[in-house]
Structures are given as C-alpha cells and as structure tokens.
Amino acid sequence: MIPIIQSSMKPLEDMDLPMMMERLLRLAVPNHLLWLIFFYWFFHSSLNFIAELLQFGDREFYRDWWNSETITYFWQNWNIPVHKWCLRHFYKPLLKSGVSKWLGQSAVFLASAFFHEVRCSALSRVKPD
C-alpha cells in the first residue's frame, strides 16, 4: 500500500483525474482487507475477550449489518451498544416530549454526526511524539 500511496502524490498534485481514480481503485482491495481485519480483531476478538474478563453478560456488540437491505436496518445493527444508548437516552425522550418520529430520527442522526466530528477533530489535534 505504501508504494501505491507514494506514487499517488504526483497525480494528486497534478489533478490528473484518471490516474487518481486508478490509484484509488488499486487501494480499494487492501483497504477493505485491513478494515475487515480490524473489525474482526476489535469488535469480535477484543471486545468479547474484555467481556469474558469482566463477566459481562450482554456480548451483542453487532448483528448482521452486512445483510442490510435498508439504511435503517444497517444503523440499528452495526453498533448495538451505541444504538441502544441513543434509543434510550435521546430518541425515546424526544418522542415522549411530542417530537415526530422523523424529526427524532433526524435529531439522533445529526447529534451522532456532531459527536463523531468532535471526536475526529480532537483526535486530529493530538500530535504524535
């Protein structure tokens, strides 16, 4: 991957769209492989290991999000702890206060996007040693 990334700098500087697309497509397969390895290591192995050590009863961190046919099914199944937290502490109180379902879903989505952005911007300010 590193040689492909290094050879991508010139097309990016020259704004050579066909070469940029070719380099991105060449990075797609190794990128997906690394993502799947990380997913298995973190969500399946590490979290279950920690759950075993802490004798945590609920080990359902994700469901079959890869079989999603709708975006709603995907968001409900790819990160169960975050989904349950948002449902319990944000979505249901909004509904009880008289907000419509659509507005409640939109508010939860926007709040999630905001917190992801804050987290990412905070991580980008951390300088490595």
Cα distance between residue 17 and residue 40, in whole Å: 34
Asked about 116 being catalytic, the answer comes back as yes
Q: In this structure, how many other beta carbons lie within 10 angstroms of the beta carbon of residue 73? A: 14
Cα distance between residue 84 and residue 98, in whole Å: 20
Catalytic position from the list 32, 44, 89, 116: 116
Catalytic amino acids?
116
